[in-house]
Amino acid sequence: METKKLLVTTDFSDVSFAALIYAAKMQGYRITLISILQTGDVPPDLLKQIPDPGAIQDYRKKVLEQTREKLESVARQFFSDTDVTTDVVVCDEDVAAEICAYADDNAIDMIVMTGQGRGALGSLFVGSTVQKVLRMAKIPVLVIPKTAK
């Protein structure tokens, strides 16, 4: 029997760790832990005013490396007895689309995420990223409440 693949998302917020805690208890899955690093283009007029435009690229590389290190640390913390793959995905705009594309490209069987993350209204509603993933995903999405044990 082929092992099922589980994709667990995190934005490193305390709320997102509920999905990690839950996924760590699931047996028989190959787990991939991802964090989406959202970047944006610097407007050309602003870019002209920056003394060293290469500094932006250097900063992005530094943030990417720090995010990878943090993700590895989180994987060790929550999945100490499990072989976990980690990946940082860089995107420009739509985090939900990136999560779904990653799941499709990597033959993931289920996505696990928490209902609220860092959004401004996260405590009132299911997060907009979660709503988009629920609509767009071609596979089951398990949404963990932020207070899951």
CATH code at position 99: 3.40.50.620
Domain count, the chain: 1
Domain limits for position 65: 4-144
In a domain, 137, yes or no: yes
* Statement: the pTM of the whole predicted model exceeds 0.75: yes
SS (H, E, C) 3-67: CEEEEEECCCCCCCHHHHHHHHHCCCEEEEEEEEEECCCCCHHHHHHCCCCHHHHHHHHHHHHHH
In a domain, 78, yes or no: yes
Q: What is the pLDDT along the chain (149 residues), one digit of tens a residue?
A: 577 899 999 988 888 899 998 898 887 888 999 988 877 777 778 777 878 878 888 888 898 889 999 999 999 898 877 778 888 888 777 889 999 999 999 999 999 999 865 444 444 445 688 999 999 999 999 999 876 55
In a domain, 103, yes or no: yes
In a domain, 149, yes or no: no
